[in-house]
Amino acid sequence: MRAFLTDDLTAAPKFADIPTPEPGPTDVVVEIAACGLNFADLLMAKGKYQEKPPLPVTLGLEVAGTVSAVGTDVETLHVGQRVAVYSGHGGLAEVGAFPAARCVPLPDSMSLTDAAGFQIAYGSSHLALAHTARLQPGERLLVLGAAGGVGLTAVEIGKVMGAEVIASARGPEKLAQARAAGADHLIDSNDDTLRETVKALGGADVVYDPVGGPAFTEAFRACNPEARMLLIGFAGGDLPEIKPNHLLVKNISVHGFYWGGFLKFNPTALTDSLSQLFAWYDEGRIKPHISHVLPFDRVEEGMELLRTRKSTGKVVIQIA
């Protein structure tokens, strides 16, 4: 079967023919219809992601497709069932074998394309805001990188949860996407006004930051006492500088957040969150924004869209 993989961390990922997998006792085999791209795919291709599977590694952290075979110990899924999978890797291939515990049956209302770009972005934002930051109705939520894959979902979920949402993104086109997702206030990150604008609006109670670098510092300076800052990632490339004495003076909490890590230490929180999200989708309260759906042959183009930040929302690769 065909796969897009990395076998040399100093070279670009490439297409290769690899054996079609067979299921282990607790696995299912999935005919992959679509794979959502994530910034983590870029990091994994260079060996810079927090999870480092052995080489060669097929990229692709999240997929959707149809179960074609089940392991001998699998009782919860069946052949022909449509599922979304947080695979961790292995998604950019025609077929994948994944632990059954990582597969989520899809509601009839959800397309496989939507499902491929749903779990990580929506799961990260909902679990971070609801479980970690405990965002309350009426609080002021500042979302950095608000038109990106996870940022746009944070805007949307923040509004569903009753927050007043301030969205920071680069340029009028991306800000328009944030507005369409429900943002109450917009800040162009090309301008040097983030701190002043947020403070003029009353300050931030919760900050959702997938960007890092100088934006984190400006957001920190716009926080109210007892604000909660969520470190989601560092798409800007630079690690933020955190001054503990400033945290102390303003009683601010900074939370590191890695959605996939909950599978190891609190899987119930993650599955409960996904159940809520699928219910909201079924009710029409949330809808993934997918800016690009590309065929498998153009996966390098999809990676470049992430690298150059020319996408909004999700990029999904159509495998079949």
Contact call for residues 165 and 129 (beta carbons, < 8 A)? no
User: Which residue intervals of 111-150 are DSSP H helices?
Assistant: 112-116, 119-126
- pLDDT 10s digits, 296-309: 999 999 999 999 98
Strands (E), 37-148: 57-58, 62-70, 82-86, 95-99, 103-105, 140-143
* 205: CB partners within 8 A, 6+ apart: 135, 139, 140, 141, 223, 224, 226, 227, 228
pLDDT, position 69: 98
- pLDDT 10s digits, 105-134: 999 999 999 999 999 999 999 999 999 999
Collapsing DSSP to helix, strand or coil, 256 comes out as strand
From the list 64, 131, 146, 138, the residue with the least C-alpha distance to 98 is 64
Collapsing DSSP to helix, strand or coil, 142 comes out as strand
pLDDT, position 245: 84
User: Which residue intervals of 46-118 are DSSP H helices?
Assistant: 112-116
- pLDDT 10s digits, 166-196: 999 999 999 999 999 999 999 999 888 899 9
Q: Any idea which residue has 């301008």 for tokens?
A: 191
CA 287 to chain centre: 14
Q: How many CA atoms within 13 Å lie on the side-chain side of 249?
A: 7
Report the chain's mean pLDDT, rounded to a whole number: 94
Task: Report the distance separating Cα 236 and Cα 213, nearest Å.
Answer: 6
Instruction: Pull the structure tokens for residue 129.
Output: 């805001």
pLDDT class of 247 with cuts at 50, 70, 90: confident
Q: Between the CA of residue 133 and those of 127, 160, 244, 255, 297, what are the distances in Å?
A: 9, 15, 19, 8, 40
* pLDDT reading at 238 higher than 80: no
CATH homologous superfamily for 2-118+288-318? Answer: Medium-chain alcohol dehydrogenases, catalytic domain (3.90.180.10)
- pLDDT 10s digits, 36-89: 999 999 999 999 998 899 999 999 999 999 999 999 999 999 999 999 999 999
- pLDDT 10s digits, 1-38: 999 999 999 999 999 999 999 999 999 999 999 999 99
Contact call for residues 114 and 121 (beta carbons, < 8 A)? no
From the list 106, 142, 120, the residue with the least C-alpha distance to 33 is 106
CATH homologous superfamily for 121-260? Answer: Medium-chain alcohol dehydrogenases, catalytic domain (3.90.180.10)
Q: Between the CA of residue 68 and those of 29, 77, 80, what are the distances in Å?
A: 6, 10, 6
pLDDT class of 288 with cuts at 50, 70, 90: very high
Task: Report the distance separating Cα 128 and Cα 122, nearest Å.
Answer: 10
- pLDDT 10s digits, 138-160: 999 999 999 988 999 999 999 99
Write the secondary structure of 3-14 as one string of H (helix), E (strand) and C (coil): EEEECCCCCCCE
CB atoms within 10 A of CB 308: 8
Threshold 0.85, pTM exceeds: yes
pLDDT, position 30: 98
Mean local confidence (pLDDT), 213-237? 92
pLDDT, position 236: 72
Ranges for all domains in the chain classified under CATH 3.90.180.10:
2-118+288-318, 121-260
pLDDT, position 12: 95
Percent of the chain at pLDDT > 90 equals: 85
